[in-house]
Amino acid sequence: MSTSRDLTRVAFSGLAARKMRTVLLLLGPMIGVAAIVAAVGLTDSAKGDLKAKVAELGTNLIEASAASAFGQSSPTLPIDAVERAATVTTVESVSSIRQLSNVVVTPYTEALEQFDTVPIPVLAADADLPRVLEVGLVSGRWLDDFDESSRARVAVIGQALAAEFSYLPGENRTVELAGFPYAVIGVLEKVPLEPGFDNAVFVPFAAVADDFLDEDPVEPNKLYVRCQTGTEDLTSEALSVAVGLGGPTQISSEVKSEALELAAESDRQLQLIVVSMGLLAIVVGGLGIANVMSISVIQRSAEIGIRRALGHTRRIIALQFLLEAIAVGVVGGILGVLLGMLAIFVGVSAAGWVFVMAGWLAPAGVALAVVISVLAGSYPAVRAARLEPLETLRLG
């Protein structure tokens, strides 16, 4: 017991006597542990934020799309798809859209030359879409039944698109869709579960029939369905039957929140890369410890000789050097964890997330630094122990 206390004193006095060297030794494990802690902590915080967001948005939004059947290039749903979906008893609300392609959108009626290459999705949407998605409008109003029945050329635009078009709330603006003038009547809020809507233009089905498609009425190709929470999978299956019944239409359903969670999984790849870099930093730091301590053994050979002459055994000498390495690992690991936590805190504050850090992360970070430093310190420790006092003391 007293031996370990003596060893600790000697190891720390050895480190304290060479402050610059000790600081340099600390950097390797410190940076490595900090990188790992920050990577894991930040991805966990992002995931935690995502879960909170999903919980807020609700997990019960289902997207049912027309799947490509044989010979159909742009598959559609039956014209009464909304009514069919509503027959499923677990369905609470339904809205339909029709995605269009190749509609050139220009922010002003005269601005075709400047903006004709901007690819912007144009969608026919019914009056229920914001209610089903549970989003509001930044300004103006959504498309309503009167717009449909009067076949009005009106449009609602996404928030990001409004910013891009420098559209001010309440401004009288006419945009051009494939050369047809449409009056902007509202700006839709961000839809977290459907980020693409942020850049889209929404118009009534009737207007689409008049201006863009050679069909009337226009069939939808996608439904957004809110179901009773907990019946997502069941409802998805029921929707396929109810909407696809009696026709060639194939339905593919996905629960939107699951897609979002899936997207978060891709962040794991980034986490893996950063963690690997952290591991690399720790390994390089370990090599640095091994290298510097090996040189130190040569520099301190006289000290080792005199300690051996004073009766310190080979084991004690080895332990003394090993303990110096371990002390570097412990201190470097703790500093690394603190630095990593600081990085998480900064990142979380910048992104507006909630600080999430797994309980095992701090002890694991320190343990990793210690393991590496023990591995790095053992070779110089053994070399120190093998020195013959007779050779280092230069007698006579």
**Which token pair is 354?**
């909630």
> What CA–CA distance (Å, rounded) separates 16 from 11?
9
Judged by CB, which is closer to other proteins: 1, or 350?
1
Minimum separation from the CB atom of position 7 to other proteins (A):
8
222 near other proteins (CB under 8 A): no
89 near other proteins (CB under 8 A): no
Judged by CB, which is closer to other proteins: 13, or 68?
13
**Candidate residues 6, 80, 216, 237; the one interacting with other proteins per rule CB under 8 A:** 6
**Per-residue contact flags (x/-) with other proteins for residues 313 to 352, judged by CB under 8 A:** xxxx------------------------------------
51 near other proteins (CB under 8 A): no
Residue 274 Cα distances to 32, 126, 227, 279, 349, angstroms: 10, 45, 39, 9, 20
SS3 (DSSP) at 22? helix
Judged by CB, which is closer to other proteins: 359, or 396?
396
Minimum separation from the CB atom of position 268 to other proteins (A):
48
> What CA–CA distance (Å, rounded) separates 94 from 86?
7
Q: How many residues bind other proteins (CB under 8 A)?
A: 30
Judged by CB, which is closer to other proteins: 4, or 349?
4
308 near other proteins (CB under 8 A): yes
**Candidate residues 186, 220, 305, 329; the one interacting with other proteins per rule CB under 8 A:** 305
Judged by CB, which is closer to other proteins: 276, or 313?
313
Angle, to 10 degrees, between the axis of helix 267-299 and the axis of helix 314-351?
150
Do residues 118 and 140 touch, judged by C-beta distance below 8 A?
no
Scanning 104-112, 203-211, 231-239, 300-308 for contacts with other proteins by CB under 8 A, the matching segment is 300-308
Scanning 13-21, 87-95, 112-120, 264-272 for contacts with other proteins by CB under 8 A, the matching segment is 13-21
47 near other proteins (CB under 8 A): no
Do residues 215 and 74 touch, judged by C-beta distance below 8 A?
no
Minimum separation from the CB atom of position 308 to other proteins (A):
7
Q: Which residue has the tokens 């027959």?
A: 87
> What CA–CA distance (Å, rounded) separates 302 from 288?
23
17 near other proteins (CB under 8 A): yes
Minimum separation from the CB atom of position 378 to other proteins (A):
19
CA dihedral angle for residue 16, residue 17, residue 20, residue 23, rounded to 10 degrees? -20
**Candidate residues 151, 303, 343, 382; the one interacting with other proteins per rule CB under 8 A:** 303
Do residues 188 and 202 touch, judged by C-beta distance below 8 A?
yes
Buried b (16+ CB within 10 A) or exposed e, 322-339: bbbbbbbbbbbbbbbbbb
Give burial (CB, 10 Å; 0-12/13-18/19+) of 181.
Answer: exposed
> What CA–CA distance (Å, rounded) separates 121 from 114?
18
> What CA–CA distance (Å, rounded) separates 119 from 102?
8
**Candidate residues 18, 53, 131, 151; the one interacting with other proteins per rule CB under 8 A:** 18
Judged by CB, which is closer to other proteins: 14, or 32?
14
Residue 348 Cα distances to 48, 56, 61, angstroms: 11, 19, 28
Judged by CB, which is closer to other proteins: 263, or 302?
302
**Per-residue contact flags (x/-) with other proteins for residues 361 to 390, judged by CB under 8 A:** ---------------------------xxx
10 near other proteins (CB under 8 A): yes
Minimum separation from the CB atom of position 384 to other proteins (A):
14
Strand pairing category for 174-177 and 137-140: unpaired
Which residue ranges make up the site for other proteins (CB under 8 A)? 2-3, 6-7, 10, 13-14, 17-18, 302-303, 305-316, 388-390, 393-396
